[in-house]
Every structure is written in C-alpha cells, then in structure tokens.
Amino acid sequence: MAISLHYTERSNSVPDLRQISRTDSDEHDFLSPNEAYRNIDIFTFLLLAGSFTDSFTNLCRRSVQKKGWKELFIEIRDGLNSDSKSLEKRFMLNRFIQLNFEDFKEKIRQINEEIDNHMSDIPIDWANHYNSETINETYSQVIACRKILSQQRLFYIERGNLPSLLILQQAITDQFLRLIFLYNSNSNLQQIDCLEAFKVLFDHSLIIVGQPSGTECSAVTKYEKTDKYVTIIKTHIICLLDPNRVDKYLKLSNSGVTLYALDNTGGLERGIPLNLMWKKRTITYDKNKTRTFFYMELNDKDHIQLTEMNSKNKPFHNQKLCQLVFHTTFTVNETNIQYSSTLNSSLFGLCSHAMFYPIYLAQIIISEVEQMCNPINSENHARTFTKFINLYHKRVCGIELNCHSREFIEKELHKICTLSYEKVHNISVNIELIQRKPFSFDIYQDILEKLVAQIKLMSNHPFLSMLYNDRLFYGICSDTVDHGLKGNSRQPRLLVRYNKLEDQVKNQKPDIIFVIDDGKLRKACINHKNLADEMSKCFDEATVNIETQLQVLNYDINFSFKNFSWYSDSRLNSNNMVKTDCETIFYSLELLLKNAIQNSRYYRQVPMPSVESDSQTSTEQFCSLHTMIVSLELSGNEDLRAEAFTHLRDTLCQWCVNHGIHGSLSFLPAIDSPEWPDINDTSSILPQ
C-alpha cells in the first residue's frame, strides 16, 4: 500500500514543485545539519539542537538587536516557563551569563567565520577549464561528501578540504549544461557519448544531507499506536542541479521512496512505498547572495503508516534495522534521454519505545565503525573502538570524553576483547596470534548499549554536558574513584558521576550518583525523572554556602563547590510554595524537613560512632534525635489519599537515607478515621 504525504504549502502554479524562501532560518543547517565545528568548548552548546529554541543565526541577529549577548540571555531566561525542560535551559543560560563576554565575542566571530567557509561558492569557469580529469575529481568529491555527511550523523567528523555543496552544485550544473550543448551539436557519436555521461552525472547529482533519524534520537525512531501503526522518520535529500539554470531542460519525477527492513543476511525485505515530491528552496548566504536547490524531505509532521505486519499482527519493521531507498527519474526535455537513479540511505533502527534506543544505536554504531575501518587486530581493537565512542560522544554531547573516561572505557573494552579471543580460540592469549586474528566489533554490543544510554542522557540534558565541560561532573567511570576522594570533616570532597556500568539496568536510563567523603563515604542517587529539580537544589546550596570548604574532585584536580553557583540565579528556587487551590498550600519537602528539624520542640543528643579519616584523628560526633507529630487531613478519592500517604512516607525515608539520618518513622491514622491499608506502618531509616 502506498502512502502519500501531503504538504499544505503546495504551489498552485507549479503542480509538482513548490518554492520556499526561508531567509529567517539557519541556511547552513539545511546544507550541513550535523557540521563538525572545531574546538569551541562551551560555545558548542549554542549550536546544539535542543539547547535553545532558536537557531544560532537567529540568536546572532537577536543579540545585535539587544545590543549584547548577555542582555539577550537574560531576556530569554526571564521569559522561560516553569517546566523541567525550561528549568534546564535556565541552568545553561545562567552559565552563559557568567562568561567573559570579550572572549565570547571572539568565539562567536570564529564560529561565523567557519560557517562562512562552509558556505563559500568559488566560481568555476567550465567553458575554459573543462577536462575529463576535472569532472571525475568532482564526482569523487560528491562521493566523499556523501560519506562525510552520513558519518556526521553519529560521529564528530570534520569535512577537511572538501568543497561546499554550493561549489559542487555549480560544478555539476555546469557539466549538465555542457552535455546539453554537446548533445545538441547533432553528432551521433557525441550523442552516444553524452548518453553515458548523462547517466554518470545523474548518479552523482543526489546527496542525502540529513540521514534518517527520529525526533528524539539520531539513527533510531519509534512507532506509535493510534488507530494505525505510524512512525516519524526525519531525512532530507538534495539534487545538485540548480533549478534556476536547468528548469527548461530537465524534469525530475516525484521520488519513489521505499522503507525496507534489513533481513538476517543483510538484504532488504518487505518494502513500504512512500511518495515524496521534489520541492525548491532558496537559501541566502554571504549576506545577499542566493541559490536555489531541489530537495525533498520527511519531517516530524509526516506520519508514515506501517502497513506490513508480522505473524503477531505487529509492525514487521519493529525491532529491526531499516533503510530508505530513493528512486528518481531524470528526463531531459525534447530528447529521448530518461534515466532512473537509486540512492540508499544509511541504516536506522525502528522500535516500539524509547527505552530500546540504545540497543539499535549500538548496532548501528558497530555497523558504521566496521564500514569505516579495515579489519583491526586485537592489539588495537579496544583502542580503535574507544576512539569512535569518543567521536560519538563529541557529536551528540558537543564535547570530548575526558581522559579518565576514555581510559576507563578502553580498559573495559580490552577485557571484553581478551575474553572473546580466549573464548573463540579456547587458548590463553598469545600476542603473536592476536596480531594475526582480527574479529568483529559486535563483541562490544552489550557494554556499548550501557555506554550509549549514559551518553544519551547527557545529550538529552545539555546542562550535564556543560557541567562535564566545567569539570563538575565526572561522567562515565568506575565506582573505584569514590575511594580517591580522601575527604575529612574539615575539608569534605564531592564527586558527581554516573552509576557504574555493572549496576545499570538494561533498557533503563542511568542514574546520577553524588558521593561525599567527609571522613565517611556517603552516596545519594538521583533518578533522571527528578534530575532538574535535584540539581536545582545543588546549585542553590552552592549559592547560599559560597564560603564552604567543600571541594569537587575531577580526576586529579579539585574544584570549589561554589562553581555550581554558575548555574544558579536568585529566582531559581524562589517558588518554594505551590498553591494548588484556594485552601491548600503544599511546601517543598526539603523546606518542610528543614523547618521541622529547626523548630522541633523535642530533642536529645546521642553519641555517634567515631569517624576516622586519613588526615585527622577520630572525633566524637553528635546528632539530635527529633520527635514530632505531623497532622495531615486529606479529602477526596480514598485510593489517592492512601497513595499520598505512601508517597510522603517514601520520600521522607529516602531523604533521611540520603542525608545519613537514622531512626524510625510511624504513620498512624487518627482514632476516628477508617483503617487504610499500607498506612499503619513503621519504616526503619538507616544511613546509606
């Protein structure tokens, strides 16, 4: 069954093409959506998709209107909503506001200069300089551009000295017009030669600029069940023949695009046909120059129906790697020249839920690394794959892995490589044999799924990448680093990291672990669902306790805890009360606990066990034991009232555990209230 994708902007004057002019958008993203910018550190986050709602180009324009970047960031921050995503943007804006704006202007100039270089259009005079060697070199450059643009979907790969697509469009269009001239010269011999030359040219006229991806993930998408099974695939392809110069000679057929699943042998099966239209887009570059491109796309407004079902009546393409195949027919007007060209996309995954993204991302990363590398001997196997994990991290998070993360990953991969070799050959490892026996990177599938999940959490929450860049977040590592803190009560030390790989549950997002050593090692675990709220408290604590001696460890360097205050502002935690109706006000649990402890009327001191550290002798610690009565009256649905009590109990227990408070907690209903299940409960609270 064919699926027709309809576009509301379709032009009436040109039935099969539409003209779009987007002078307000970022033209560079249209031609190079995953460009690898050179080392620009924290400024990378101005360019990352999802960091801000505006493109980099529009941010630059707005900064001029506001007479400064700082003023623009403050305006954007003050206009944010109160949801968690906006809270994370607030963290990032606060960090940008702390920058030295003299350095900032220079970095912005460098970024714009790099974009200008990517959008250059050096003129080529084919009439005077054409030869077969030159056009073959151009075709080689088209192939190289296809390869780079495909690799940039998942990896940080610089384009090097490759020409821009503007230059390639000019070269391919000039060659097309030259072939038209030769064909019309009425020489039969030349016409035969031209026919073959046209075929080669058409095969090199198409480039997939944006390889298939989903709305939430590079290279993987998911389907939704409404009344039908539908999915969203984002991709766009351009033709290097300039419409303004070839329109009277050439007609492009609306492309037949087919969605295939990859079978066990690497072949394609069960195709779903899609109908796409060639459109036109005019871009503006170099201030006032314009250029028009043929292009077609699938975007997040296009819902593709999955019509092929498996034996369980589920989408056949589910839990598979897939591929798009583009078919375009080129027809040269007033001739008998007609040629169909085919171009295959890179692989992408399709699954039922976002929790499965890491599985298919890992498969695709392994597949692409094996295409990019010659067979690797075991001696360099782990090191080579670590390099590509770093390139993936830099591509999706905007920054490289720190050296301690690279060392940890390579060490873990080397263990797997060694064990795999021993298992396959059933021998102890012999270096000479290892050097002669290459094998696949798919031995890393399981650990790569966990690494991808941790990297993806950082890419989904860009402020974590900024913390990582500021050396306040340790990132991927082993829990053995906890014992290197060596803090004490006078100078406690903090480490913020991911949970260790062994503890990471398959198909679940990783947790963030806070480790504090103040003579005793304590840990707190932050779930991704509460990440923004909990980090907000951390930033607020750094602002309030600016003179604290608490240090943050990162590798072998200590940083002040007050550096977390770079992400805070005076309004970040001003809303401690949330009014839910005209009668009830709920306070934040943390504020409730602090007030309760400070204002409690009943307490007694009990001695705590002595604590020893490497840098100080043991001292006797004391804490206060508080007893209080909390009165709570709720009305409404009985099940929800019980759930409210349970939630309050669990949250209070977890807070006490995280802060090393121990004792007991009792929830007892009033004498005249009905008995509620799960409410009569005494929960022990023990320090973690």
Encode pLDDT of 563-588 as tens digits.
Answer: 999 999 887 764 433 333 333 333 33
Mean pLDDT, residues 234-259: 92
Q: Is residue 648 part of a domain?
A: yes
Q: Is residue 210 part of a domain?
A: yes
Q: How far apart are CA 348 and CA 214, in angstroms?
A: 9
Categorize the per-residue pLDDT at 406 as very low, low, confident or very high, splitting at 50, 70 and 90: very high
Lowest mean pLDDT among 1-5, 168-172, 680-684: 1-5
Q: Is residue 235 part of a domain?
A: yes
Q: Kindly state whether residues 61 and 123 are assigned to the same domain.
A: no
Q: Note the Cα 620 to chain centre separation in Å.
A: 48
What is the predicted pLDDT for the residue at 440?
Answer: 85
H or E element in which residue 332 lies: strand 320-332
**Domain total for the chain?**
4
Q: How far apart are CA 506 and CA 510, in angstroms?
A: 9
Q: Kindly state whether residues 126 and 211 are assigned to the same domain.
A: yes
What is the predicted pLDDT for the residue at 13?
Answer: 32
* Cα separation values, 329 from 16, 42, 253, 254, 271, Å: 14, 45, 5, 8, 19
Categorize the per-residue pLDDT at 617 as very low, low, confident or very high, splitting at 50, 70 and 90: very low
What CA dihedral angle connects 594, 596, 597 and 602, to 10 degrees? 170
Q: Kindly state whether residues 346 and 468 are assigned to the same domain.
A: no
Q: Kindly state whether residues 457 and 540 are assigned to the same domain.
A: yes
Q: At 622, give phi and psi (nearest 5°).
A: -125, 150
Final residue before a domain boundary, out of 352, 372, 400? 352
Q: Is residue 373 part of a domain?
A: yes
Q: Note the Cα 482 to chain centre separation in Å.
A: 28
Q: Is residue 540 part of a domain?
A: yes
Final residue before a domain boundary, out of 88, 118, 148? 118
Tokens coding 454: 């941790």
Q: Is residue 572 part of a domain?
A: no
Q: Kindly state whether residues 404 and 510 are assigned to the same domain.
A: yes
Q: Kindly state whether residues 19 and 51 are assigned to the same domain.
A: no
Q: Kindly state whether residues 172 and 68 are assigned to the same domain.
A: no
Categorize the per-residue pLDDT at 217 as very low, low, confident or very high, splitting at 50, 70 and 90: confident
Categorize the per-residue pLDDT at 380 as very low, low, confident or very high, splitting at 50, 70 and 90: confident
Tokens coding 330: 């080129």
Q: Kindly state whether residues 14 and 150 are assigned to the same domain.
A: yes
Residues β-bridged to residue 626: 603
What is the predicted pLDDT for the residue at 564?
Answer: 92
**Interval 317-363: pLDDT, tens:** 999 999 999 999 999 998 889 999 999 999 999 999 999 999 999 99
The residues near 216 (Cβ < 8 Å, ≥ 6 apart) are 222, 354, 357
Categorize the per-residue pLDDT at 25 as very low, low, confident or very high, splitting at 50, 70 and 90: very low
> Is 50's pLDDT higher than 80?
no
What is the predicted pLDDT for the residue at 432?
Answer: 52
Final residue before a domain boundary, out of 519, 544, 567? 567
Q: Is residue 553 part of a domain?
A: yes
Lowest mean pLDDT among 72-86, 335-349, 388-402, 665-679: 665-679
Q: Is residue 410 part of a domain?
A: yes
Q: Kindly state whether residues 54 and 109 are assigned to the same domain.
A: yes
Question: Around Cβ 14, how many Cβ atoms within 10 Å?
Answer: 12
What is the predicted pLDDT for the residue at 127?
Answer: 42
What is the predicted pLDDT for the residue at 56?
Answer: 76
Range(s) of the domain holding residue 100: 35-118
Q: Kindly state whether residues 552 and 456 are assigned to the same domain.
A: yes
Q: Kindly state whether residues 551 and 590 are assigned to the same domain.
A: no
Q: Kindly state whether residues 555 and 660 are assigned to the same domain.
A: no
Percent of the chain, pLDDT > 90?
37
